[in-house]
Each structure stands twice: as structure tokens, then as C-alpha cells.
Homo-oligomer: A and B are copies of this chain.
Amino acid sequence: VPVDDNVPAPPPTIGVVGAGQLGRMLHQAAIGPGLRLRFLAASAGDCTVAVHPDHDLGSALDAAALTAFAGTVDVVTFEHEVIDLEALDRLVAAGAVLRPGPQAMRAVADKLDMRAAVAAAGLPIPPWRRADTVVDVVEALADWPDAVLKLSRGGYDGRGVFMVSGVDEARAVAGEVFSAGTPLLVEPRLAFEAEAAVIVARRPGGETVVYDPVATTQVDGQCRQVVAPSGLGDAIDEQARSMGQAVAEALDVVGLVAVEFFVVDGELSVNELAVRPHNTGHHGIDACVTSQFENHLRAVADLPLGDPRLRSPAAMVNVIGDGDVDPRDRLAAAMALDSGARIHLYGKGPRHDRKLGHVTVCDIDVERAAERAWRVVAALGGQKAGSGA
């Protein structure tokens, strides 16, 4: 149903499946325009619950919980992909409004489906193979002695991603990993020059806005640093923008799509997709006119999208748990160090390798922005630059 923006009508109540830090930042973004949210939280300890008054408790893998939750809201969206995909089809058949829809959720919940969807959209992807057995893995390693094995489902933030060198190591890892029961995606380890990402927001009618592409730094599959603008040159930025839009259209995404790229020989290939707010857009809370979180909500509520432009060059560095140091105890030291740094803590208990927050610095000099952000992260007790997960 096309929406006429000039007809007075209250915005819908938005149900968000998931209640982690993305939910928390969605809530923060909803307060300004006054959009009403409800969350489906897996646990009362989820970090959105501490800051938002209205949630159901239930698993996104439980069809009954999803169905009950959908019945309490006008439109359903998602802040993670670990959901019962079959339940989504039944919800749509029963008249629920899902944004994004099941077709987009399916394309991101399984890395093998993702590769197929991106290829079908005519976009470049890295070499890849599906492996259902240890023999498949060993065969792939014959061609690619340094490879990456990825669980097709359920991985996130570097979990479910395994770097292997040589047949023996691959065989050992694959033997363990197949016990998890999902097939693997096998890729050669690419000698990329850089990693980039772009975020596109898209409304039901097809209206889109595209954020400035960013350059990202990952360690063992976990995002550590994002800088905007990317500094990778106009040609690469333009590729990123047009591929981002192509993915949004191919998957008929409503909400956000984040596309992560490898840069090899000056050309992009699509590495990962997400159809939700993404770590590569967190800087926008402080650096963009309209954050990815607000534009996700606007898109999902079928409201006109906000200006995505950067207000300033910026760097974002994640606060990754280092031992049992709690960044909340280091807030005063971090604030004393840099009065302009924007500190975001997610209210999560400390755990090694866990994303506990992020720091954004806006600075006309983007390298200085990154240095400042890393210093504040160190003061908060997060893992230092260059340290692995």
C-alpha cells in the first residue's frame, strides 16, 4: 500500500526482534522522533532491556514466540539473523508486516545463500566453494593452501570463521566444525588491499539513501576500526555505492542493508551482507546528519528517509573486552583523556573478545581521529590496536 506522506497518520509501533546493543542504539534513535518500539528479548539481561521499558521475553528461534510478538506490533524488524526463517514465511502469510521480508532475511542468515544471491544480482564475489564433507574441504585446500572456512549459519563477529593453512590443519578444523551440522563456505585467503563497506537505507516504495562508504579494519573477522570517508578514492567509493544500491534492490530490502567488500587490485567484491544496523555504521550516530539507526526506523515505519551525509570525517574503534576489565569502571579516565571523544558503552558485562562498546571521534584529520579513538579505547581497557581476538 503506497503511503502518502501528506496524510496525517500516527507512525506504526515497531517490533524489534533482538535486544542487544543494536536494539539499544535503535531505542536511542527512536526517542528523538518519538517512534514507539517493542523488543523481543532472549533474556532479561539483554542490554536493551536495561534502557527500554517494553519487551516480550522469547527466542527468535521459537515460532510461537515470534508469532505472539508480531501480534503486538504494527511492523516487525530484526537486529540479528539467528531466527526461525520458516516462521517468517508463515507470519507473512498470516498478514504480518515484516521489514525486511523473509527473502532478505534468508539471503543473510546463510552465507551460502548470500553468495548465491549476490552472484544472481550480477555482482562480483570472491572465489568460493560449498563443503559438506571433510573431503570437500581437503579438495578445496589443494587449490587454496591458505583458506578461510566459515560456518554457513550462526557465525558472527569472527565466531564460526576459521583461518587454515594446508590440508592437515584444514582437515582437523573441518572435522571438528562439521559436528555443528551446517555446511561450510570455503574461500581462499585473499591478499586484499583494503576492506570497505557501505550502508543503504530503503523504504517500502523503493526510496533509498546511501551512506558514504567507509574503510574498515577487521581482526580475525571482528570489526575493530571504521573510518569515514573511506580514503579509498572516488572510483572505489562509486563502486561501493552502486553495488550497495544493487544489493538493496535485488533483495528488495526494506530497512538497511550493509555490504562489506574486499578491495583487490582496485576492484570490489562483496564479502558479507547484513540487513540491519551494522558495526560499520556506528560512527554515524555522531558523524552523520541522520544515523543508520534512525534511518532503519524511518524505512521500517515507511517514513521519509533522513539525510545520510557525513558532517565531519570520523573514526570509530570498537571496545573489545580484554580479560575481565570493565570499561564502565574506566569511564572517568577515558573522558578525562579526550573531552571530544564520543563514548558508547553497551551495558554488557566484561568478557574477553566481546564487543562492549565503541568510541567515535570526529576530526577534520581522519588519521588523528583514529589515533584519538584508539587512545580512548585503551583508557577504557579495550583491546589495543594490532592485538588479535
Question: Which residues of chain A have a CB within 8 Å of any CB of chain B?
Answer: 3, 5-11, 24-25, 27-28, 30-34, 36, 49-53, 209, 285, 289-290, 298, 302-307, 311-312, 326, 328-333, 335-336, 339-340, 342-347, 357, 362
Supposing A307-B339, A340-B307 touch, asked if A333 and B6 sit within 8 A by C-beta, the answer is yes
For the residues of A in contact with B, the DSSP-based class is loop
Q: List 24 A-B contacts (CB under 8 A).
A: A5-B332, A7-B332, A8-B326, A9-B329, A11-B331, A24-B31, A25-B31, A31-B51, A33-B343, A34-B328, A49-B53, A51-B53, A209-B339, A289-B339, A289-B340, A289-B362, A290-B340, A298-B335, A302-B332, A303-B332, A303-B335, A306-B335, A307-B339, A307-B340
The answer on a CB contact under 8 Å between A336 and B304 is yes
CA–CA, A147 and B312, complex, Å: 48
Copies in the complex: 2
Q: Shortest distance in angstroms between A205's beta carbon and chain B's nearest beta carbon?
A: 12
* Chain B proximity of A53: nearest CB distance (Å): 4
Residues of B within 8 A of A27 (CB): 31, 51
Q: Least Cβ distance of A303 to chain B in Å?
A: 5
- Tell me the bound Cα distance from A357 to B52 in angstroms: 20
- Distance in angstroms between the alpha carbons of A132 and B239 in the assembled complex: 75
Cα–Cα distance between A5 and B330 once the two chains are bound (Å)? 8
Closest residue on chain B to residue A331 by CB atoms: B11
Contact partners of A347 in chain B: CB under 8 A: 34
> Nearest CB to that of A308 among chain B residues?
B339
Query: Which 5 residue pairs are nearest across A and B when measured between Cβ atoms?
Result: A34-B345, A5-B332, A8-B329, A304-B335, A53-B53
C-alpha gap A178/B257 in the complex (Å): 62
C-alpha spacing A347/B35, complex, angstroms? 9
Task: For residue A343, give the distance in angstroms from its CB to the closest CB of chain B.
Answer: 5
Chain B residues with Cβ under 8 A from A362's Cβ?
289, 311
The listed residue (B3, B5, B11) touching A328 by CB distance below 8 A is B11
Of chain B, the residue at the smallest CB distance from A25 is B31
Q: A32-B342, A33-B345, A339-B306 are in contact. Are A332 and B9 (CB under 8 A)?
A: yes
Q: Which residue of B lies closest to A332 (CB)?
A: B5
| A33 B340 Cβ-Cβ under 8 A | no
Q: Closest CB of chain B to A374's CB: distance in Å?
A: 18
Contact between A303 and B290 (Cβ–Cβ < 8 Å)?
Answer: no
Closest-by-CB residue of B relative to A47 is B34
Closest chain B residue, CB of each to CB of A55: B53
Min C-beta distance of A44 to chain B, whole Å: 11
Query: How far in angstroms is the closest Cβ of chain B from A289?
Result: 5
Q: Is the CB of A329 within 8 A of B31?
A: no
- Kindly report which residue of chain B lies nearest to residue A4, judged by CB atoms: B332
Distance of A268 Cα from B304 Cα, bound (Å): 43
Contacts of A343 in B (CB 8 A): 32-33
How far apart sit A262 and B50, CA to CA, in the bound complex (Å)? 43
